[in-house]
């Protein structure tokens, strides 16, 4: 029978191919298999960002009342309390001012003859009082800024303190002063470039920045 | 095609930019907090006295010029009355009165401690000369504490030639100067 030999050979060939394919699949699968392991904290780690908040309250009339009829040499004291109410310590407390008057008058544009401000702090709340004289501080008064022209303060905030602890209050006296100066009014007409009869509309702004960022281990 | 950008490359560029911004911000962002006041009005005071024939201060203040026609018979011209008004905001304690004239007639600016009777020229109190020109001069000035002190106050004065007129019409110009020293010293107040 000459016809059976090729048929048997074909079957063997098919069987061998199938066996080889199966072996190849098995060995290939072994290459891609991997083991994984993880570790994690079983209690979630709380993470919260700090807050920086500054609030200002008048002590007495504060900035809430107009200052009128200021003569050369006059000083008008006003008292405010600042609270660093956030959770972060602050650095770089400054005072700036803007004048909404248009056009701006000599009161806030003349550094020599215009208004100037001094700021002092008291460890405890001031007793502002009223009328003639200054308010009182029960302990020691610390000057924070002295005779800073508003003409300067409009463009460059004046540094008051390098640090303010979270939750701390600052008790401040803000003294507005018009430098004494000579002018003669002739026949009821105010002189040219006078300091008299001028207006300003002041907005005082205290600004603090966060303390320096830190790297800690705990 | 040259000159065109595929959407994928745009998206990649945007994504890269966002990633750069996110990673860069912690290095320079610093929190700050501010507290600002309500607008605080501030006004400065003023001082001055204006001479005027009116009952109230003129809108445009200036010196007062009075004309004295030569009376019939070459006599002395009758006095003229005018007001000195404190037209500014502060109380004044003194002033310098000035007097200039077109001729060299002796003339005086006078105040009455009481009330003037302008019809008769009488004063119910004491008459005080605030400024007087002397013979042969055309101007004079003098300081006095007789002033309309309070803001808005009016002081009645008179200008009186004391010599016969030398020309058909003589004019006298009266001025009032108020220096800083005539107002209060600086004060320290609270509130």
A·B CB contacts under 8 A: 213
Average pLDDT, chain B: 86
Helix (H, G, I), strand (E, B) or coil at B163: coil
How far apart CA A174 and CA A120 sit, in angstroms, is 7
A133: which chain B residues are within 8 Å (Cβ-Cβ)? 188-190
What is the CB-side half-sphere exposure of residue B174 using CA atoms within 13 A? 27
Q: Pull the structure tokens for residue B153.
A: 């106050």
| This prediction's pTM | 0.81
The string of pLDDT tens digits covering residues B53-109 is 999 999 999 999 999 998 888 789 999 999 999 999 999 999 999 999 887 788 999
Q: 3-state SS of chain A?
A: CCCHHHHHHHHHHHHHHHHHHHHHHHHHHHHHCCCCCCCCCCCCCCCCCCCCCEEEEEECCHHHCCEEEECCCCEEEEEEEEEECCCCCEEEEEEEEEECCCCCCHHHHCCCCCCEEEEEEECCCCECCCEECCCECCCCCEEEEEEEEHHHHCCCCEEEEEEECCCCEEEEEEEEECCCCCCEEECCECCCCCCCCCEEEEEEEEEEEECCCCCCCC
Local confidence pLDDT in tens for the 218 residues of chain A: 444 555 566 666 666 666 666 655 555 555 567 899 999 999 999 999 999 999 999 999 999 899 999 999 999 999 999 999 999 999 999 999 999 999 999 999 999 999 999 999 999 999 998 888 888 999 999 999 999 999 999 999 999 999 999 999 999 999 999 999 999 999 999 999 999 999 999 999 999 999 999 999 98
Decide if pLDDT at B8 tops 60.
no
Asked if B41's CB is within 8 angstroms of A56's CB, the reply is: no
Q: What is the ipTM of this complex?
A: 0.83
Domain boundaries, chain B: 50-182
Asked if B34's CB is within 8 angstroms of A185's CB, the reply is: no
Which residue, A105, A212, A92, is CA-closest to A158?
A92
Instruction: Tell me the shortest Cα–Cα distance from B144 to chain A, in angstroms.
Output: 15
Confidence at B17, pLDDT banded by 50, 70, 90: very low
Which residue, B141, B42, B20, is CA-closest to A184?
B141
Among chain A residues, the shortest Cα distance to B189 is held by A132
Residue whose tokens read 């005072």 = A95
Decide if pLDDT at B16 tops 50.
no
Q: Write down the CATH number for the domain with range B50-182.
A: 2.60.120
Asked if B188's CB is within 8 angstroms of A133's CB, the reply is: yes
Q: Which helix (H) or strand (E) holds B34?
A: strand B32-36
* Burial (CB count within 10 angstroms: exposed 0-12, middle 13-18, buried 19+), residue A204: buried
């Amino acid at each position: 029978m000459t016809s059976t030999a090729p048929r048997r050979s074909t079957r063997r060939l098919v069987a061998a191919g199938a066996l080889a394919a199966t072996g190849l699949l098995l060995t290939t699968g072994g290459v891609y298999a991997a083991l994984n392991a993880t570790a994690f904290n079983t209690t979630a780690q709380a993470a919260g960002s700090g807050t920086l908040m500054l609030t200002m309250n008048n002590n007495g009339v504060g900035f809430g009342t107009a200052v009128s009829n200021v003569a050369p040499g006059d000083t008008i004291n006003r008292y405010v309390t600042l609270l660093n109410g956030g959770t972060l310590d602050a650095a770089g407390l400054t005072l700036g001012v803007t004048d909404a008057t248009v056009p701006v008058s000599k009161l806030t544009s003349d550094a020599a003859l215009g208004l100037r401000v001094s700021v002092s702090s008291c460890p405890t709340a001031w007793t502002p009082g009223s009328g003639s004289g200054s308010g009182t501080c029960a302990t020691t008064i610390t000057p924070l800024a002295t005779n800073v022209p508003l003409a300067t303060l409009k463009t460059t905030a004046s540094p008051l303190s390098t640090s303010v602890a979270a939750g701390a209050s600052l008790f401040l006296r803000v003294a507005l002063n018009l430098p004494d100066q000579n002018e003669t009014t002739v026949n009821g007409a105010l002189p040219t470039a006078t300091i008299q009869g001028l207006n300003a509309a002041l907005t005082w702004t205290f600004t603090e920045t966060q303390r320096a960022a830190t790297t800690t281990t705990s | 095609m040259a000159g065109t950008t595929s959407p994928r490359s745009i998206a990649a560029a945007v994504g890269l930019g966002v990633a750069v911004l996110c990673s860069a911000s912690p290095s320079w962002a610093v929190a700050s907090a501010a507290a600002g006041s309500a607008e605080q009005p501030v006004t400065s005071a003023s001082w001055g006295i204006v001479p005027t024939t009116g009952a109230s201060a003129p809108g445009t203040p200036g010196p007062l010029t009075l004309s004295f026609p030569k009376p019939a018979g070459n006599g002395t011209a009758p006095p003229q009355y005018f007001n000195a008004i404190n037209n500014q905001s502060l109380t004044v304690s003194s002033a310098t009165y000035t007097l200039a004239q077109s001729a060299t007639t002796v003339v005086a600016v006078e105040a009455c401690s009481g009330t003037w009777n302008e019809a008769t020229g009488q004063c119910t109190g004491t008459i005080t000369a605030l400024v007087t020109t002397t013979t042969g001069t055309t101007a004079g000035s003098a300081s006095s504490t007789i002033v309309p002190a309070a803001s808005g106050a009016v002081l009645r004065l008179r200008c009186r030639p004391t010599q016969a007129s030398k020309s058909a019409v003589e004019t006298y110009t009266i001025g009032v100067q108020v220096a800083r020293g005539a107002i209060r010293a600086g004060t320290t107040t609270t509130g």
